[in-house]
Structure 1
Amino acid sequence: MSSVGTEAAEVVHIVGARPNFVKAAPVVAALEKRGVRQSVVHTGQHYDDRMSAIFFRELGLPRPDVDLGVGSGSHAEQTAALMVGLEKEFISRSPGLVIVYGDVNSTVAAALVAAKLHIPVAHVEAGLRSFDWTMPEEVNRRITDQLSDICFATSPDAVGHLAHEGVATDRVHFVGNPMIDTLLGNLDRFDTAELGRRLDLPDTYVVGTLHRPANVDDPEIVARLTKRLHEVADQVDVVMPVHPRGRRAFDDAGLGGHPRMRLLEPLGYIDFVTLVRGSAAVITDSGGVQEETTILGVPCLTLRPNTERPVTITHGTNRLVVDAELPGLVGAILAGQGTGTATVADVPPLWDGHAGERIATILANGAATR
Structure 2
Amino acid sequence: MRAVTCRNAELAVEDVPTPDPARGQLLLTVLRCGICGSDLHARRHCDELADVTAEVGYDGMFRSGDAVVLGHEFSGEVAAAGAGARLKPGTRVVSFPLLRAAGAIHPTGLSPHAPGGYAENVLVQDALTLAIPNGLATDVATLTEPMAVGLHAVRKSGISRRQVAVVIGCGPVGLAVIAMLKASGVRTVVASDFSAGRRRLAQAMGADVVVDPTEHGPFDDAATHRHLVDAPTVFELALGAVEKLRRLPLVPWWRVWQAAEAVGAATPKHPVVFECVGIPGMIDQVIRTAPFFSRVVVVGVCMQPDRIRPAMGVNKEIELRFVLGYTPRDFRDSLHLLAEGKLAPQPLITGTVGLAGVDSAFAALADPERHAKILIDPSAAGDHIA
Q: Same fold by TM (over 0.5)?
A: no
TM-score (norm 2): 0.33
Q: Name the larger-Rg structure.
A: 2
TM-score (norm 1): 0.34
